[in-house]
Homo-oligomer: A and B are copies of this chain.
Amino acid sequence: MAEEKLPTRAEDFSEWYNQLVLKAQLADYAPVRGCMIVRPYGWALWENMQGSLDRRFKATGHQNVAFPLLIPRSFIDKEKHHVEGFSPELAVVTIGGGEKLAEPLVIRPTSETIIGHMWSKWIQSYRDLPVLMNQWNSVVRWELRTKLFLRTLEFYWQEGHTAHATQEEAEIETRQMLDIYADFAINDAAIPVIAGKKSDAEKFAGADVTYSIEAMMGDGKALQSGTSHFLGQNFAQAFEVKYLDQGGQLQHCWTTSWGLSTRVIGAIIMVHGDDQGLVLPPKLAPYQVVVVPIFKKDDEKALVMDAARKLKTELVAANVRVTLDEREGQSPGWKFNDWEMRGVPVRVELGPKDVANQAAVLARRDRPGREGKVSAPLAGLPQTIDKLLAEIQQALHDKALAFRRANTHDAKTYDDLKKAVENGFAYSCWCGSSECEAKIKEETRATMRCIPMDQSLGEGSARPSGPGTCVYCGKPAPERAIFARAY
């Protein structure tokens, strides 16, 4: 486990990531190309993310459901942009129960079509609206270049789907879910994100407008970390999702969809991780605290283990997620390294002297070495740790935000942009044309990530907010956009 050293991030960021995912036992490669197994440590992280999001979804009136994974192939064809976007990526079932199927079925790449089909049966009247649904599942898209968590053939996510009586309501919903994703990213994943609008080239196949949250990884690249789509009446028309309004008129619904996936696990790794391994945000970490007992002689062991178990019990009672490392045959130093690599926010070191002094050493994962160590009395330790976890949570966010600010450049010229996207974000005026966007992508490998909702990037008036002139063509540009190389 902790024996082989990771490459440093500076040496090879991509390889550091690949090896860390395996070494920390977050995930592994499946026998089918491009698929992954999420191992217990990775799934526990995902379960905490699910809990955080699900609470927010339910608090805003959404209900969970389960639509089937098999969709008739013909459904995909019904919405013209959707079929263009998803046809090349489909996994197709042609045989069932030993017989060739009359109509091929696809494994859902996303569920707008089958949900639209069912809504056309369930929704009759304005009284049935809004319909606010979400499902936790996996989807399959036949990706060619894959990377664990970031892009896999099958991935885990939630997909929310809502239907509304009016355009305005659907637009409000779309923005509400974007805000919820941003809130989750910032407050629970400790990842500062930029919420904004995607270009037509980058929007969801079938959407009128796609919004996303974009995060900067430790190598300066962008990762789209959640999307919320205003679908207009596109799917409602394709699947005849209609309702009788209060005036007795038949109207098409306005719909939305929004999704956040296990790729955010990739973001957590790449935003917070360091050369020693993972650094997990306390609110989502499978274990917030690891207690490592330290002893040499047998009488020391009895004393220390007794205190360690008592401490674990107290922490469990205080709702702290804690593990006590009782592994035999491994030194405390080896255990320190192992849990550092796995990113546990706080390590409690407990030796005979500590017990004698009724104290323990607390080591912060985010501040390696002596600097992050303090001795604290055992009395009231759960409260001390609770406070420390909150501090770490905030510190991770602040560090990531400082890094993003340091690597986001107000690129006024195209040369500025080219330089900025080498290792960060370019924040530039853009005329809005797909031609300029395509040229920039071709020439710099940077894509238009989003037009930030907050044109000051959260810094009030510190950044100019346009209008200006397009960084590529020089024509008038109403807004500024983020350009970056992206995962």
Contact = CB atoms under 8 A, between A and B. Distances in A.
Interface string A140-170: 1010100000000110100000000000000
A72 B68 CA distance: 22
Interface stretch (A90-98, A385-393, A421-429): A90-98
A64 interface: yes
A94 B92 contact: yes
A47 B64 CA distance: 9
Interface residues of A, number: 54
B65 A37 contact: yes
Nearest to A329: B127
A114 B38 contact: no
Most B CB contacts (10 A, CB to CB) among A63, A64, A68, A71 go to A68
A154 B31 contact: no
Contacts of A317: none
A95 B92 contact: yes
A447 to B, nearest CB: 22
Given A95-B91, A97-B89, A107-B107, A140 B64 contact: no
Nearest to A62: B40
Interface in A27-73: 28, 30-32, 35-40, 43-44, 46-47, 63-72
B156 A68 contact: no
Contacts of A118: 28, 30, 37
Most B CB contacts (10 A, CB to CB) among A92, A114, A156 go to A92
A75 interface: yes
Given A31-B117, A91-B93, 8 more contacts: A28-B122, A37-B67, A38-B65, A88-B98, A89-B97, A92-B96, A97-B144, A137-B138
Interface of A: 28, 30-32, 35-40, 43-44, 46-47, 63-72, 75, 87-98, 104-105, 107, 114, 117-118, 121-122, 133, 137-138, 140, 142, 144, 153-154, 156
Nearest 9 interchain pairs by C-beta: A97-B142, A40-B63, A92-B95, A35-B68, A38-B66, A30-B68, A96-B142, A94-B94, A32-B70
11 contacts: A30-B118, A32-B68, A37-B67, A37-B118, A38-B66, A40-B133, A43-B65, A90-B98, A91-B96, A92-B95, A98-B142
